[in-house]
């Protein structure tokens, strides 16, 4: 089944490579991976969508925890979370049919963000199902190009969420300090 | 105080308690070597970088400290790779320092530039590239902490040349912050209570003691747990020495070449208590048939090991020593006389098949050699091994009473490990007897390190088992490939001449009656000695669990003296 994981990682060079390398090394299959900045300039937020044969993604979660640069990981698949995807869709359209596109976009609360003599770019944000819906309607008109950001996710409310890795549940200290043992 | 990066590295190493490092110099690491002359750090020049990291690895296993290996950029650094992977598989704390081309040349394919952090990403616990001197102190501090804490492992620091000669203000970071790194210590009390309940219900329990027991120093806890609950203890290859071989609860080694009665006990158990081990395929055999009637409690510091190979009923994630200390007061004393009697019966059958029960027929078997060597050294030497048949015989017949005595490449199975490992062991414990048990194949992968042994004046005795075959592969060919010996017959040099050419007194033994005398000769001769035992060529390691079979479907050594065949 499909799992959505969110991870807080240190904003340092090479961290994305470490995460991607882990998925390859452990033979986990990534569907989409999104990295972006957060309210804290030292942290990045990752949303990873993956296919997993197991009922839960606890092995993936535990492996991500093991990376020194990863602060927190949760599987939000079965938790109350907001998930969004953004798509830019370039549609081939002559000037006389632009209104048709505009109307469709309107229904989906999408926007036309660029107009060229023979094409327009539609921007849509929403759940994947909603985007699929618009894409299906635009396809017969003629999609030239389509890009999507992949899923981003955030837990609802103030809950700390659930972690399936033994020994890590609810345990999210922001930093630990180590001292030299006096010998 | 302004210092060059090279001096800062040395300052930090000294503060981490480093007294000896193993390495090989080169262009991109010269500034560091130059500065080292002014610090109380002894550098051991091995004859190949792989020898350096094996020695550092073994030094860490024997001393309990962090081992340090050094190499230059490019080929020097890539020669460390096999050793890094070996340390990773066996969770050994090693810090590797490699030189790198100057930061402004990175990415331009400069002379001896290699992407070391990229190459070692999947085989290190963590790695760093340092492009300027101001990062050095923090990085080295973090690297040592990460290497030795939690589940230990290798950490690589790739240091650009410019970071070694730049001068910066040196402030030693007393505190560092690693927000994403928090090794677990205690297991939750609810989980402990679940475990205690399973232990109380069990009538046929077995403890599986892994490398984690010695890594966490939990030998006393293991012993008192076993005694309090009357639970026999099976050990993995790297777990050997966790419990004295003479302890009545000792079952010896489990797994592919483990004791038959040990594997039978595991397969018939109703509860397995895994202490710091990871259910490697070499100890479980076929997973679907593994310990079918047993519930499982798994104590490990690494959450990724839980349910990785074997689904467990109660995971206890934490430091083994802490978890056992938390758990022992909670468990009630129990008796399992019937179960222990059953195991004793299985043991009797094993004795009859043991090669040592065979009459002496003037043939020299490796088992005889190891057995006599064990007796002569009172089982108290530090034994390092290569990989292959000799390694298994050493594990089977060198019965350990104390921990940290057997140094061997377990998870990675790295040939050529024995001699460099002995060098590391000697620097960790120069007052102890250090013996290398090597096979003729494995030894030829690193015999160049005899020069290092002599240059350092290391008192290392080499016990070479020569059967003129890559014996373990030959054994598989005999059993599973119709005796088609593809690429396994191996010749060697005259090992006596080779030893003597390096300045090492050497002796050859071909008869069983001379085995003891040769060991006495080695013990009485000061400094390194090499003894070559020319043993039976087509001897096999028994028992053996063929791949795909269940753990108790072992091929046993026949009771009669017919040629070895099916069970």
CB–CB of B304 and A63 under 8 A? yes
- CA distances to B84, B149, B233, B237, B387 from B411, rounded to whole Å, are 12, 20, 21, 9, 11
- Please tell me whether residues B253 and B308 are part of one structural domain: yes
Q: Helical H runs in B495-553? A: 495-501, 515-524
- Please tell me whether residues B6 and B42 are part of one structural domain: yes
- Please tell me whether residues B337 and B476 are part of one structural domain: no
Return the residue of A nearest to B177 by Cα: A177
- The residues of B that are catalytic are 49, 111-112, 161, 472
Confidence bin at A32 (pLDDT 50/70/90): very high
- Please tell me whether residues B306 and B211 are part of one structural domain: yes
Direct distance between the N- and C-terminal alpha carbons of chain A, in angstroms, rounded to an integer = 52
Residues B183-239: tens digit of each pLDDT: 999 999 999 999 999 999 999 999 999 999 999 999 999 999 999 999 999 999 999
The whole-angstrom distance between A92's CA and the closest CA on chain B is: 42
Name residues whose C-beta falls within 8 Å of residue B427's C-beta, 6 or more positions apart in sequence.
B20, B42, B44, B55, B59, B458
DSSP 3-state of B524: helix
Facing residues of A103 across strands? none
- B191 lies within 8 A of chain A by CB: yes
- B184 lies within 8 A of chain A by CB: yes
Inside any domain, residue B539: no
- CA distances to B63, B152, B190, B298 from B55, rounded to whole Å, are 12, 17, 43, 32
CB–CB of A68 and B145 under 8 A? no
- pTM summary value: 0.94
Q: Is the peptide bond before B564 cis (omega within 30 degrees of 0)?
A: no
Cα–Cα distance measured from residue A168 to residue B37, given in angstroms and rounded to the nearest whole number? 45
- Please tell me whether residues B227 and B270 are part of one structural domain: yes
* Contacting residues of B for A65, CB less than 8 Å apart: 303-304
Domain at B289, CATH number: 3.40.50.1220
- Please tell me whether residues B321 and B212 are part of one structural domain: yes
Residues B363-410: tens digit of each pLDDT: 899 999 999 999 999 999 999 999 999 999 999 999 999 999 999 999
Domain at B444, CATH number: 3.40.50.970
Residues B120-140: tens digit of each pLDDT: 999 999 999 999 999 999 999
**What would the two tokens of residue B47 be?**
């004859």
- Please tell me whether residues B158 and B223 are part of one structural domain: no
pLDDT of A123 strictly over 50: yes
Cα–Cα distance measured from residue B138 to residue A67, given in angstroms and rounded to the nearest whole number? 18
Q: What are phi and psi of B22, to 5 degrees?
A: -120, 130
Cα–Cα distance measured from residue B158 to residue B532, given in angstroms and rounded to the nearest whole number? 40
DSSP 3-state of A85: strand
Inside any domain, residue B357: no
- Please tell me whether residues B325 and B458 are part of one structural domain: no
Answer for the pair B69, B80: CB distance below 8 angstroms, yes or no. yes
CB–CB of A179 and B174 under 8 A? yes
Confidence bin at B357 (pLDDT 50/70/90): confident
Please give the tally of structural domains in chain B: 3
Q: What are phi and psi of B341, to 5 degrees?
A: -65, -40
Inside any domain, residue B254: yes
Q: Measuring CA to CA, which residue among B159, B9, B166, B167 is closest to residue B71? A: B159
pLDDT at B564: 46
CB–CB of A21 and B122 under 8 A? yes
pLDDT of A89 strictly over 80: yes
Cα–Cα distance measured from residue B506 to residue B496, given in angstroms and rounded to the nearest whole number? 5
- B289 lies within 8 A of chain A by CB: no
* Contacting residues of A for B174, CB less than 8 Å apart: 179-180
Confidence bin at A168 (pLDDT 50/70/90): low
CB–CB of B180 and A14 under 8 A? no
* Contacting residues of A for B145, CB less than 8 Å apart: 178
The whole-angstrom distance between B562's CA and the closest CA on chain A is: 46
Residues B487-497: tens digit of each pLDDT: 999 999 999 99
Answer for the pair B129, B158: CB distance below 8 angstroms, yes or no. yes
pLDDT of B90 strictly over 60: yes
- Please tell me whether residues B434 and B292 are part of one structural domain: no
pLDDT of A171 strictly over 70: no
Q: Which ranges in chain A are annotated with CATH 3.30.70.1150? A: 82-148
Cα–Cα distance measured from residue A97 to residue A105, given in angstroms and rounded to the nearest whole number? 13
Evaluate the CA torsion angle B503, B504, B508, B514 in order and state its sign: positive
* Contacting residues of B for A46, CB less than 8 Å apart: none
- Please tell me whether residues B160 and B196 are part of one structural domain: no
Name residues whose C-beta falls within 8 Å of residue B404's C-beta, 6 or more positions apart in sequence.
B61, B62, B64, B214, B241, B382
Inside any domain, residue B325: yes
Answer for the pair B442, B388: CB distance below 8 angstroms, yes or no. yes
Rounded to the nearest integer, the mean pLDDT of chain A is: 87
Residues B485-528: tens digit of each pLDDT: 999 999 999 999 999 999 999 999 999 999 999 999 999 999 99
Q: What are phi and psi of B277, to 5 degrees?
A: -140, 165
Confidence bin at B566 (pLDDT 50/70/90): very low
- CA distances to B8, B68, B135, B361, B472 from B35, rounded to whole Å, are 9, 16, 18, 60, 46
Evaluate the CA torsion angle B78, B83, B86, B88 in order and state its sign: negative
Inside any domain, residue B561: no
Answer for the pair B66, B147: CB distance below 8 angstroms, yes or no. yes
Inside any domain, residue B358: no
Direct distance between the N- and C-terminal alpha carbons of chain B, in angstroms, rounded to an integer = 72
CATH placement of domain A82-148: 3.30.70.1150
Q: Which ranges in chain A are annotated with CATH 3.30.70.260? A: 2-79
Return the residue of A nearest to B145 by Cα: A178
Inside any domain, residue B252: yes
Evaluate the CA torsion angle B425, B430, B431, B436 in order and state its sign: positive
- Please tell me whether residues B333 and B437 are part of one structural domain: no
**What would the two tokens of residue B221 be?**
């806890």
**What would the two tokens of residue B189 be?**
């009390």
The whole-angstrom distance between A148's CA and the closest CA on chain B is: 29
**What would the two tokens of residue B94 be?**
């090693």
For B24, the domain range is 2-169
pLDDT of A164 strictly over 80: no
Inside any domain, residue B26: yes
- Please tell me whether residues B334 and B458 are part of one structural domain: no
CATH number of this structure's domain A2-79, picked from the four choices 3.30.365.10, 3.40.50.880, 3.40.50.1100, 3.30.70.260: 3.30.70.260
Pick among A18, A21, A41, A166 to test the B interface (most B CBs inside 10 A): A166
């Amino acid at each position: 089944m499909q799992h959505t994981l969110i991870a807080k990682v240190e904003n340092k060079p090479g961290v994305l490579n470490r995460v991607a390398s882990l998925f390859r090394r452990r033979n986990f299959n990534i569907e989409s991976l999104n990295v972006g900045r957060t309210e804290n300039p030292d942290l990045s937020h990752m949303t990873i969508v993956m296919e997993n044969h197991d009922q839960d993604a606890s092995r993936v979660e535990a492996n991500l925890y093991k990376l020194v640069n990863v602060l927190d990981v949760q599987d939000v698949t079965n938790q109350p979370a907001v998930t969004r995807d953004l798509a830019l869709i370039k549609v081939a359209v002559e000037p006389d049919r632009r209104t048709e596109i505009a109307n469709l976009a309107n229904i989906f609360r999408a926007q036309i963000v660029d107009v060229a003599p023979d094409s327009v770019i539609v921007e849509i944000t929403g759940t994947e199902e909603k985007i699929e819906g618009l894409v299906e309607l635009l396809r017969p008109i003629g999609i030239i190009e389509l890009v999507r950001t992949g899923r981003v996710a955030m837990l609802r409310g103030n809950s700390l969420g659930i972690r399936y890795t033994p020994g890590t549940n609810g345990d999210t200290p922001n930093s630990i300090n180590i001292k030299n043992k006096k010998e | 105080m302004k210092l060059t990066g090279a001096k800062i590295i040395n300052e930090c190493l000294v503060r981490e308690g480093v007294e000896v490092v193993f390495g090989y110099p080169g262009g991109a690491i010269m500034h560091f070597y130059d500065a080292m002359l002014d610090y109380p750090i002894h550098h051991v020049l091995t004859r190949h970088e792989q020898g350096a990291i094996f020695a550092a690895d073994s030094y860490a296993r024997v001393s309990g400290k962090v081992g340090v290996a050094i190499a230059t950029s490019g080929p020097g650094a890539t020669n460390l790779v096999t050793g890094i992977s070996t340390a990773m598989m066996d969770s050994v704390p090693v810090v590797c320092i490699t030189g790198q081309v100057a930061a402004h040349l990175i990415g331009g394919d400069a002379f001896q530039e290699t992407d070391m952090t990229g190459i070692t990403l999947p085989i290190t616990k963590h790695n760093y590239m340092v492009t300027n001197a101001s990062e050095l102190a923090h990085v080295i501090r973090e690297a040592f902490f990460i290497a030795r804490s939690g589940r230990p492992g290798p950490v690589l620091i790739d240091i650009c040349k410019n970071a070694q000669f730049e001068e910066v203000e040196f402030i030693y970071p007393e505190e560092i912050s690693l927000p994403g790194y928090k090794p677990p210590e205690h297991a939750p009390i609810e989980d402990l209570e679940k475990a205690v309940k399973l232990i109380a219900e069990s009538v046929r329990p077995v403890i599986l003691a892994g490398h984690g027991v010695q890594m966490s120093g939990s030998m006393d806890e293991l012993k008192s747990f076993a005694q309090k609950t009357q639970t026999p203890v099976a050990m993995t290859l790297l777990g050997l020495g966790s419990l004295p071989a003479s302890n009545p609860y000792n079952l010896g080694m489990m797994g592919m070449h483990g004791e038959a009665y040990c594997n039978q006990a595991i397969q018939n158990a109703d509860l397995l208590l895994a202490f710091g081990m990871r259910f490697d395929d070499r100890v479980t055999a076929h997973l679907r048939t593994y310990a079918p009637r047993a519930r499982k409690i798994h104590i490990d510091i690494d959450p990724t090991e839980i349910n990785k190979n074997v689904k467990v009923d109660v995971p206890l994630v934490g430091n083994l020593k802490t978890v056992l200390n938390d758990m022992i007061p909670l468990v009630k004393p129990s008796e399992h006389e019937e179960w222990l009697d059953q195991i004793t019966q299985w043991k009797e059958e094993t004795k009859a098949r043991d090669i040592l029960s065979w009459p002496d027929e003037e043939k020299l078997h490796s088992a005889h050699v190891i057995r006599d060597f064990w007796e002569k050294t009172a089982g108290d030497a530090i034994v390092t091994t290569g990989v292959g048949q000799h390694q298994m015989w050493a594990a089977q017949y060198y019965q350990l009473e104390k921990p940290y005595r057997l140094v061997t490449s377990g998870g990675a199975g790295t040939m050529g490990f024995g001699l460099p490992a002995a060098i590391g062991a000697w620097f960790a414990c120069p007052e102890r007897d250090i013996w290398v048990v090597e096979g003729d194949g494995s030894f030829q992968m690193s015999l160049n390190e005899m020069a290092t042994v002599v240059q350092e004046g290391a008192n290392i005795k080499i016990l070479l088992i020569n059967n003129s075959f890559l014996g373990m592969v030959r054994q598989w060919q005999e059993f599973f490939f119709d005796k088609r010996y593809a690429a396994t017959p191996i010749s060697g040099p005259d090992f006596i001449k080779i030893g003597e050419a390096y300045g090492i007194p050497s002796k050859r033994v071909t008869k069983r009656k001379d085995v003891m005398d040769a060991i006495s000769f080695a013990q009485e001769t000061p400094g390194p000695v090499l003894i070559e035992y020319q043993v039976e060529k087509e001897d096999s390691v028994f028992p053996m669990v063929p791949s795909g079979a269940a753990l108790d479907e072992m091929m046993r050594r026949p009771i009669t003296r017919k040629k070895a065949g099916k069970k």
